[in-house]
């Protein structure tokens, strides 16, 4: 049942416009029916949380391919504090940030960043969505 739920979390982007609308509408409907809060979480934040759980105490760069050599990016320090983004940045800028900080990479742009840097990084989820259940 739903009795143990304290809140409903839902992605607020980046992501497909239609997918975000469906997700937010569903979360809002459930939250209203269950009389619990709905909480918006960025896709980058969810990816970073999953990577941080796998690599505790490490900085995380969550990055999604935005097309046209651009990346949706957010950087979280060793304490999971957001220090950059979420923002749209060039692949070159995100690659430079990765080279400088050697973070765990998470998201669909991780392979692009590694290829651009000419080296591998520790890898969190390489998908466009996180698998977070708490």
Run means of pLDDT, 10 residues per run, the chain, 134 residues: 89 90 96 96 94 96 94 97 97 97 97 96 86 60
So what's the pLDDT on residue 130? 76
Sketch the domain layout of the chain as residue ranges.
8-41, 43-117
| pLDDT score for 132 | 63
pLDDT of residue 126: 86
Task: Give the residue among 128, 23, 118 at the shortest CA–CA distance from 67.
Answer: 128
What is the model's pLDDT at position 15?
A: 84
| Three-state secondary structure string covering the chain | CCCCCCCEEEECCCCCHHHHHHHHHHHHHHHHHHCCCEEEECHHHHHHHHHHHHCCCCCEEEEEEEECCEEEEEEECCCCCEEEEEEEEEHHHHHHHHHHHCCEEECCCHHHHHHHHCCCCCECCCCCCCCCCC
Residue 96 has which token pair? Answer: 């430079």
Query: 43-117: which CATH topology?
Result: Nucleotidyltransferase; domain 5 (3.30.420)
d(CA 63, CA 94): 8
Cβ proximity of 50 and 11 under 8 Å: no
pTM more than 0.85: yes
């Amino acid at each position: 049942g739903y009795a143990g739920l304290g809140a409903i979390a839902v992605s607020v982007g980046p992501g497909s416009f239609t997918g975000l609308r469906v997700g937010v509408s569903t979360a809002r409907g459930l939250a209203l029916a269950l009389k619990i809060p709905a909480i918006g979480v960025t896709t980058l934040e969810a990816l970073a949380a999953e990577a941080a759980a796998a690599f505790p105490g490490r900085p995380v760069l969550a990055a999604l391919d935005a097309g046209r050599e651009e990346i949706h990016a957010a950087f979280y320090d060793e304490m999971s504090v957001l220090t950059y983004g979420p923002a749209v940045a060039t692949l070159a800028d995100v690659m430079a940030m990765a080279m400088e900080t050697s973070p765990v990479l998470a998201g669909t742009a991780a392979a692009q960043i590694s290829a651009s840097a000419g080296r591998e990084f520790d890898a969190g989820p390489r998908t466009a969505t996180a698998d977070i259940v708490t």
